[in-house]
Amino acid sequence: MRAVALVAPGQVEIVDDWPEPEPGPGDVVVQIRGVGLCGSDLSVYDGTREVPGMPWVFGHEGGGDIVATGPGVTGREVGQRVVIEPNFADGTCAACLAGHTSACDDRQVLAITRTGILAERVAVPADYTWPISSDWPDVALACVEPLVVAHTAVRRADVPVGADCLVIGAGSQGQLVCQSLLAAGAQPYVLEPHPGRLELALKLGARPAEEHHGDTYPLVFETAGVPSVWEPAYNAVAKTGKLVVIGFNDKPAQLTTIDLVQRQITIVGQLIYDHPVDFQATLAAVSAGQLAPAQTVQGTFGVEETAAALASVREIAGKSWIEFSSWRDGS
Ligand SMILES: [Zn+2]
């Protein structure tokens, strides 16, 4: 079958001899309809994030149609349209047993520890596929996974209705945090140097941070992950407020404990989502019309144009996605 293979850092090729996936016990095979591109895909693409070997297939945000089921699968059948949850927990470690599958000791990650979904078909555990209505546009399949990350961060932060929140960074993760905050009845203010990204955030209902009365907020969401934003993010937290850290880097971040204690600040590291509660909650909100995952999408590329999509993705203000219609039509 065909797949988009990473053959060297920064170089992808379409191959037609990628192994056809075999569904193991409990697995389903999904024929892919759409794949979103995000920062972690780019770090695999450019070689900053190491993968087990080359050629490699990445891509982890997306879904399609179930075309085969393995032994022992119940509750999923051929023909169902599904979104893929791309982090597979072992379900047996202490973190999993406590419900924190995001902290699983042996978490398998599509595109990082197992080959990803920029391929015609992929085998995944049935429990990690989420049936959705077949009238969802394919573009929505490509945006659900990052929306779950954002929506989970907002849900766990217990954002009061009407609260002013600062969102640092308006890349696709920041845009989706803004959307989740608006759905929660809060008002996001955005700090973002890129004019196109800022403009998109404002169009979707955020306000520029310069318009906020006062320098501090009860809640700050840091999505940029660059060292230079740590200080403004931390300083923008009001007394007794909370800083939710979603973006990250490997540089030390400074603060003084006297300031932390006297301002009584809570700092929370927020990594992905827990299985199955967070996909469940986000998909319910999308189905109820409270969230529209495709709103932030600005770039659409056919699967043959994946190399061009990867080359331009950093210049596009919103999210880019790859659509697979030409591979499904048998061309
Ligand atoms: Zn585990």
- Say how many Å lie between the CA of residue 128 and the centre of ligand 1: 14
Residue tagged 């992929």 (tokens): 122
Omega before residue 208 within 30° of 0, cis: no
Mean pLDDT for 107-123 is: 97
Give me the sheet containing 187-191, strands edge to edge: 207-208, 187-191, 164-168, 217-222, 237-245, 266-269
Residues 244 and 324 in one domain: no
- Say how many Å lie between the CA of residue 48 and the centre of ligand 1: 26
pLDDT tens figures, 238-276? 999 999 999 999 999 999 999 999 999 999 999 999 999
Tell me, yes or no, if the pTM score tops 0.85.
yes
Residue tagged 């078909």 (tokens): 121
Give yes or no for residue 331 having a pLDDT over 60: no
Residues 227 and 265 in one domain: yes
pLDDT tens figures, 179-222? 999 999 999 999 999 999 999 999 999 999 999 999 999 999 99
- Say how many Å lie between the CA of residue 104 and the centre of ligand 1: 4
Residues 128 and 13 in one domain: yes
Spatial distance between the Cα atoms of 138 and 118, rounded to a whole number of angstroms:
14
Determine what percent of the chain is predicted with pLDDT higher than 70: 99
Radius of gyration of the chain (CA): 20
Which of 80, 41, 86, 75 has its CA nearest to residue 64? 80
Residues 15 and 131 in one domain: yes
Spatial distance between the Cα atoms of 1 and 143, rounded to a whole number of angstroms:
25
Ion ligand 1: residue ranges with CB closer than 5 A: 89-90, 93, 96, 104
With b for 16 or more beta-carbon neighbours within 10 A and e for fewer, the 88-102 pattern comes to bbeeebebbeeeebb
Chain-wide mean pLDDT for the chain? 95
**Is there a domain that residue 284 lies in?**
no
- Say how many Å lie between the CA of residue 100 and the centre of ligand 1: 8
**Is there a domain that residue 46 lies in?**
yes
The H or E element that residue 239 is part of is strand 237-245
- Say how many Å lie between the CA of residue 92 and the centre of ligand 1: 5
Q: What is the pLDDT of residue 330?
A: 59
- Say how many Å lie between the CA of residue 90 and the centre of ligand 1: 4
Residues 120 and 176 in one domain: no
- Say how many Å lie between the CA of residue 98 and the centre of ligand 1: 9
Segments forming the whole domain that contains residue 25: 3-142+292-328
Which of 160, 153, 155 has its CA nearest to residue 238? 160
- Say how many Å lie between the CA of residue 177 and the centre of ligand 1: 27
- Say how many Å lie between the CA of residue 274 and the centre of ligand 1: 11
- Say how many Å lie between the CA of residue 144 and the centre of ligand 1: 23
What does the DSSP assignment read for 41-56? HHHHHTTSS--SSSSB
- Say how many Å lie between the CA of residue 275 and the centre of ligand 1: 10
Which of 272, 306, 226, 285 has its CA nearest to residue 100? 272
- Say how many Å lie between the CA of residue 301 and the centre of ligand 1: 36
Residue type, 246: I
Q: Count of domains in the chain?
A: 2
- Say how many Å lie between the CA of residue 278 and the centre of ligand 1: 16
CATH of the domain at 312: 3.90.180.10
- Say how many Å lie between the CA of residue 117 and the centre of ligand 1: 23
Spatial distance between the Cα atoms of 30 and 76, rounded to a whole number of angstroms:
11
- Say how many Å lie between the CA of residue 136 and the centre of ligand 1: 32
- Say how many Å lie between the CA of residue 187 and the centre of ligand 1: 36
Residues 13 and 138 in one domain: yes
- Say how many Å lie between the CA of residue 77 and the centre of ligand 1: 27
- Say how many Å lie between the CA of residue 143 and the centre of ligand 1: 25
Q: DSSP secondary-structure letter at 65?
A: E
With b for 16 or more beta-carbon neighbours within 10 A and e for fewer, the 296-309 pattern comes to bbbbbbebeebbeb
**Is there a domain that residue 26 lies in?**
yes
Residue tagged 């399609």 (tokens): 64
Q: Which residues pair with 4 in a beta bridge?
A: 14
**Is there a domain that residue 297 lies in?**
yes
Residues 96 and 166 in one domain: no
Q: What is the pLDDT of residue 40?
A: 86
Q: What is the pLDDT of residue 160?
A: 95
**Structure tokens, 20:** 């056809």
Q: DSSP secondary-structure letter at 227?
A: G
Mean pLDDT for 315-319 is: 86
pLDDT tens figures, 24-50? 999 999 999 999 998 889 999 999 999
Residues 135 and 174 in one domain: no
CA dihedral of residues 87, 90, 94, 98 (deg, nearest 10): 60
pLDDT tens figures, 272-306? 999 999 999 999 999 999 999 888 898 999 999 99
Helices (H) and strands (E) in the chain, counts: 11, 17
- Say how many Å lie between the CA of residue 276 and the centre of ligand 1: 13
Residues 154 and 131 in one domain: no
- Say how many Å lie between the CA of residue 99 and the centre of ligand 1: 9
Polymer length in residues for the chain: 331
**Is there a domain that residue 189 lies in?**
yes
Residues 124 and 28 in one domain: yes
**Is there a domain that residue 52 lies in?**
yes
**Is there a domain that residue 233 lies in?**
yes
**Is there a domain that residue 180 lies in?**
yes
Residues 134 and 53 in one domain: yes
Residues 174 and 264 in one domain: yes
With b for 16 or more beta-carbon neighbours within 10 A and e for fewer, the 105-136 pattern comes to eebbebbbebbbbbbbbbbbbbbbbbebeeeb
CATH of the domain at 242: 3.40.50.720
